[in-house]
Every structure is written in C-alpha cells, then in structure tokens.
Amino acid sequence: MTGVNATYLDHAATTPMLPQAVAAVSEALAITGNASSLHSSGRRSRRLVEEARERLAAAVGARPSEVVLTTGGTESDNLAVKGLYWSRRAADPRRTRVLVSEIEHHAVLDSAEWLAEHEGAQLELLEVDEWGRVRPETLRAAMARAPETVALVSVMWANNEVGTVNPIRELVDIAHEFGVPIHTDAVQAVGILPVDFAACGADALTLTGHKLGGPYGAGALLLGREVGVTPLLHGGGQERDVRSGTVDTPSVIGLATAVELAVADAPRRAEVVAGLRDDLVGKVRAAAPDARLNGDPGTGLIDGGPSRLPGNAHLSFPGCEGDSLIMLLDAHGIECSTGSACTAGVAQPSHVLLAMGADEATARGSLRFSLGHTSTAEDVAAVAAVIGQVVERARRAGQNGNGRAHRRAAAGRS
C-alpha cells in the first residue's frame, strides 16, 4: 500500500512488497530459532534459510554457495568494492587501481573514493557516453594501460537514474581477458531484466530485496566460489566467513520469495511496464514539448533484454528546478523523484547527468518517474492531467529565481 490516494511512480526508490513476500515474512517472524544454533529450533530456522538461499540462487543463475546474504545494496556494494580491493592488493601489492564507472550509485562511488583516501587506491572513473553507458573500448583502454596494477572493476548493470543498461557480458569478458575481477551493482536489474550470474560471468553481483517486491534491509552479494574478498563485518562468520551477523531468517525468506516471483514474471511485466512508460513519456512531451528524455532511447537490445530499464522515464524540463517539480507533483498526489537524494534531502545536481555531459541547470531540472508492478494506465493519466500546468508553474518559479539579482539591483539604483 502506498501513500493515501497517491500515484506512486517511484518504484526505483522502492517498490511495493509482493503480497506473497509479506505473507512469507509475516509467517516466519513468529518462528523462533537462530540459524546457527544446533538444536531443533536452530535446525528448523537453518533449513528455512538454506531453502530460501537455494530458491534465490536458482532464480538468478547462481549456486547456493555463491549467495552471501547481506542487509542490501549498500552493504553488498561496500563488501564487493572494499573486499575485492583488500583481497587483491594483499595478493599482489601492485594492484591498487580501482576502475569504476562515473555513473555508479554512491554506495560504489563513495566506497571507491574512501579506498583512495584511506587505503592507497588509485580511483579511475570510467567515462560514459551521452546516454550514460560505459563503452567496452573505454574499459579496454583503461585496462590495457597496465593491467597488472588493476585491483577490480565495478560497473552497474543498469543505472538507477536514467535507466541505461550496460553491456555487462562484454565488460566482464574484457576484465577477465586481463585477469581482473569485476563487480556489478544489479540492484535495478534483478527481477526486471534477464540477469543470470553464471551466464554473465561477473565475479560479484549486488541485488537487494526492496527494489523487486521483497523486504527492506535484505539483499545479497552473489560472489563466485573462487573469488576472494576480505570481510567488512567480523564475528561469527555466518556467511562463508565473508560476512558475519545472525542471519535474518524472515527477511531472507521474503527476499527469496520476491526474487523468485519477480524473475518469473519479468518478461511479461517488462512489456507491460515499458508500454505504460512509453505512453507516459509521450503524454509528458505532448504537454511539455521541450521536455527531453535522458538516457538510452530504449529501442535496442543488450544481453537479451531491453537497452533501457522498462519502467524508467527520466526527463529534463528546461528552466525548471527539480525540487519545484517534485513539490508541485506531490501536491497533486504524484510521487516521483529527481533520481538522486542525499541525507539532508538537498537536491544536488545529478552526477550521472553531469557525467553524460549535461550542464548543471539541466541536471537540476530533471525528474525520474519509475514504474513497476503496481503501475496502471490511471497512473499515467494522472500525470498527463497535471504535468503541463506543473511544468509551467515550476518554470515561472525557476526563472523568477534566476532573474532576481538583476531586478533587485535595478530597483536599488532607481
């Protein structure tokens, strides 16, 4: 259930939990047992966890032993980036270069920056094209410069802001050609695009529950059996000695339930959602003709799936401030985002759009509508009904702010 009377178009932030996942979590919450305990209650909990792990693994083309359960995307990204770096550098001190795309989520970007500030890493940002895609030749050129000094590569499967999908298989092949491990943040992709861990060949892959109909605070790092990572969290060593902490049995069950259902339903849902998305983009452009769709146009195919996330519509509105648009739409019960947020809630110009070559004004004047499994034609109609007046009003406010200094200065002289 979303907000009261809300038109919820922020599925990329979090998507409603699937009723089956809610039921599975609720049922499991009443079951006592630490999955690490040896007694009967512990064994029962352990069995539930391992069954869930197997179901999750099967749904994403991984082996159960490759599923490291975590609290979600941020932890998985931190574990992959820092863990791979420490492990690779320990094996070979020359390996200090970290190759990360410019358009990564902050969980990857800030982890890599932290390594550069505190652990002697050399962070190299892989450039993206105007659609926000890492081109294979970009990675190849960076690798070829001294492959023996690269610790790891991290490129997200699909971008959370503009929806552009990266050619992960090709990027994996290039990294492996040079013997370097590669991580991919697939938080936006799993359950939406065809993601198969074994087939893509990545060494580590991040997924999280709340983006695909599972609970918050539950996710996984898929980690190849041969891939060494140094742990972040020390303690009982519950997850392959790579991650410690009592396993959250109900959340894991909810996560596996959601992954299974989302993956099974993904092809059908992608078609429906992409249809609604295209309709939305068309109607927004009809009401605000200078609105521009950012990212891949979505007409291509990558690794057997669409070249753009089916539910993503990221648009720039020249002359508008994103925060004005958000507020005005919110007043009409329409919930969306600018695509990036920070802890104080200040809308920063998106690093993704800036990396794609947008100027700061364009980067500040953007909105992300993200559709998902509960989206309907009524949601699209609700946006279409108000977007024209909202953009017009936001534009007046935006221009008002820009012209202010000049007008006041003129008034002062008169």
Partner 1 sequence: MRVLAAMSGGVDSAVATARAVDAGHDVVGVHLALSETPAALRGGSRGCCSKEDAGDARRAADVLGIPFYVWDFAAQFTESVVDDFVAAYAAGQTPNPCLRCNEKIKFAALAEKALALGFDAVCTGHYARLDAASPPTLRRAVDADKDQSYVLAVLTAHQLAHALFPIGDTPKAQVRAEAAARGLRVADKPDSHDICFIPSGDTRAFLGERIGARPGAVVDAESGQELARHDGVHGFTIGQRKGLGIDRPAADGRPRYVLGIEPATGTVTVGPAAALDVREIDGALPVWCGGVDPDGPLRCVAQVRAHGGLAPATAWQTADGSLRVRLDEPLRGVAPGQAVALYRPDAAGDVVLGSATITAAR
Residues forming contacts to partner 1 in the complex (CB under 8 A) are 323-324, 326-328, 330-331, 343-348, 393-394, 396-397, 400-401, 404-405, 408, 412
Report in angstroms the alpha-carbon separations of 135 from 142, 182, 368. 11, 15, 24
Pairing between β-strand 122-126 and β-strand 204-208 as defined by DSSP bridges:
unpaired
Q: H-helix or E-strand containing 66? A: none
Encoded tokens for 360: 């700061």
Rg (CA), the chain: 22
Indicate the residue among 259 and 391 with the shorter CB distance to partner 1: 391
For residue 149, what is the DSSP state? G
**Closer of 117 and 241 to partner 1 (Cβ):** 117
Q: Is 342 one of the catalytic residues?
A: yes
The conformation of residue 348, written as its DSSP 8-state character, comes to: P
- In the complex with partner 1, the residue whose CB is nearer, 40 or 343, is 343
Give CA torsion, residues 84, 86, 90, 91, to 10 deg.
10
Minimum Å gap between C-beta 7 and partner 1 is: 15
Residue 155 CB, shortest distance to partner 1, in Å, is: 30
**Contact in structure between 209 and 255 (CB atoms under 8 Å):** yes
380, 173 in Cβ contact below 8 A?
no
Min CB(409)–partner 1 separation in Å: 11
Q: Show the tokens assigned to 7.
A: 């038109």
Greatest C-alpha distance within the chain: 86
Least Å distance between CB 393 and partner 1? Answer: 6
Nearest distance in Å: CB 408, partner 1 = 7
Q: How far is the CB of 280 from partner 1 (least distance, A)?
A: 23
In Å, what is the CA distance from 223 to each residue of 62, 99, 198, 205, 400? Answer: 9, 19, 10, 7, 52
The 10 Å Cβ neighbour count of residue 414 is 4
Query: Which C-beta is closer to partner 1: that of 29 or that of 331?
Result: 331
User: At its nearest, how many Å lie between partner 1 and the CB of residue 262?
Assistant: 31
Closest CB to partner 1 among residues 17, 347: 347
Please identify, using beta-carbon distances, which residue of 4 and 301 lies nearer to partner 1: 4
Nearer to partner 1, 124 or 323 (CB): 323
**Distance (Å, rounded) from C-alpha 32 to C-alpha 238?**
18
286-317 burial code (b ≥16 CB/10 A, e <16): ebbeebebbbbebeeebbebbbbbbbbbbbbb
Q: What is the pairing mode between strands 305-306 and 366-370?
A: unpaired
| Other Cβ atoms within 10 Å of 234 Cβ, number | 10
Question: What residues act catalytically?
Answer: 342
